[in-house]
């Protein structure tokens, strides 16, 4: 027998309001990533629906999507909860991101146009300004946009996978020293500049190597703060794969790829 609709929903909610799902998804994801909903905490669907201003039907759809992203855990006969801190997940997420984002920038760096590069320049300027003003929220927005811009020409599906991994890795980064001290917000400024210059020169091996090192350094810093005894072998192996490919002098076909 199918479950009955929640009394907070109307009969027409069988066709889920996609706008309400989007609102619930974005706001709930933000609450999780910013740490306003603590790792391991149980969720009341009725309470969350009231807080977000949506019915429970779109909220349940948002929870399903966040579960797919690794931010929510569903439990049989129990309330869902925010995924607890898991060092193995942190290593897995960052390892995947190092490999996939390095590949994505290698593809994208040869295809970026003048307008793309100008936008990346503007995001770096914004990061510097917001970091100097200790405006973490706006620095974070520019930082996310910068990384997304680096892989803007890598294909829709790959960008979607990277967006999910970025959300999960940023949750851990915000929990760590990198998300707590203004001095840490600009620690990668020189690295970002170097990555952008490699893209400007349309040098895919250099761009991939620099990005892989940048992500690995961030990951190892987060782990040193949150889980100093964790096995970091996965991250180091991912970095070795990327830098080993670059050091081997592999060449990428100069033709535009089909994605």
Long-range interactions of 249-258: CB distance < 8 A, separation 24+: 250/205, 252/106, 252/110, 252/204, 252/205, 254/110, 256/110, 256/111, 257/107
pLDDT tens-digit map of 9-33: 444 444 457 788 988 988 998 888 8
pLDDT tens for each residue of 153-181: 999 999 999 999 998 898 888 887 665 55
What are the φ and ψ backbone dihedral angles of 3, each rounded to 5 degrees?
-65, 145
* CA–CA distance, 195 with 189 (Å, rounded to integer): 10
Of the given ranges (81-85, 123-127, 206-210), which has the lowest mean pLDDT?
A: 81-85
For residue 146, pLDDT over 70 is answered with: yes
| Mean pLDDT of the residues in the chain | 85
How far is residue 68 from each of residues 72, 126, 242, measured CA to CA in Å?
8, 32, 27
What pTM was estimated for this model as a whole? 0.78
CA atoms within 13 A on the CB side of 247: 6
> Residue 135 and residue 56: Cα distance in Å, rounded?
34
Helix (H) or strand (E) holding 98: helix 87-108
d(CA 209, CA 244): 9
Percent of the chain with pLDDT over 90: 53
**pLDDT band per the 50, 70, 90 thresholds, residue 104:** very high
Give the tens place of pLDDT for each residue, 21-78: 988 988 998 888 877 888 889 999 899 999 998 998 999 999 999 998 888 998 888 8
Answer positive or negative: Cα dihedral of 58, 62, 68, 73.
Answer: negative
pLDDT reported for residue 3: 40
Give the single-character DSSP code of 176. Answer: S
């Amino acid at each position: 027998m199918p479950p009955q609709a929640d009394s907070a929903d109307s009969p027409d909610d069988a066709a889920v309001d996609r706008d309400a799902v989007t609102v619930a998804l974005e706001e709930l994801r933000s609450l999780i990533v910013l740490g306003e909903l603590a790792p391991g905490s149980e969720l009341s669907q009725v309470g969350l629906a009231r807080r977000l201003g949506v019915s429970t039907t779109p909220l349940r759809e948002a929870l399903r999507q966040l579960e797919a992203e690794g931010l929510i855990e569903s439990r049989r006969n129990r309330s869902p909860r925010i995924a607890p801190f898991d060092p193995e997940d942190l290593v897995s997420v960052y390892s995947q991101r190092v490999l996939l984002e390095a590949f994505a920038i290698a593809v994208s760096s040869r295809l970026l146009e003048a307008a793309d590069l100008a936008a990346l320049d503007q995001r770096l300027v914004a990061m510097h300004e917001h970091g100097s003003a200790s405006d973490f929220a706006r620095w974070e927005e520019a930082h996310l946009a910068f990384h997304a811009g680096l892989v803007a020409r890598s294909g829709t599906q790959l960008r979607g996978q990277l967006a999910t991994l970025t959300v999960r890795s940023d949750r851990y980064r915000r929990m760590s020293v990198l998300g707590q001290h203004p001095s840490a917000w600009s620690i990668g400024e020189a690295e970002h500049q170097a990555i952008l210059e490699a893209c400007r020169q349309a040098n895919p091996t250099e761009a991939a190597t620099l990005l892989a090192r940048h992500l690995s350094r961030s990951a190892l810093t987060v782990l040193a703060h949150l889980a100093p005894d964790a096995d970091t072998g996965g991250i180091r192996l991912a970095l070795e794969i990327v830098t080993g490919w670059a050091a081997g002098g592999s060449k990428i076909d100069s033709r535009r790829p089909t994605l």
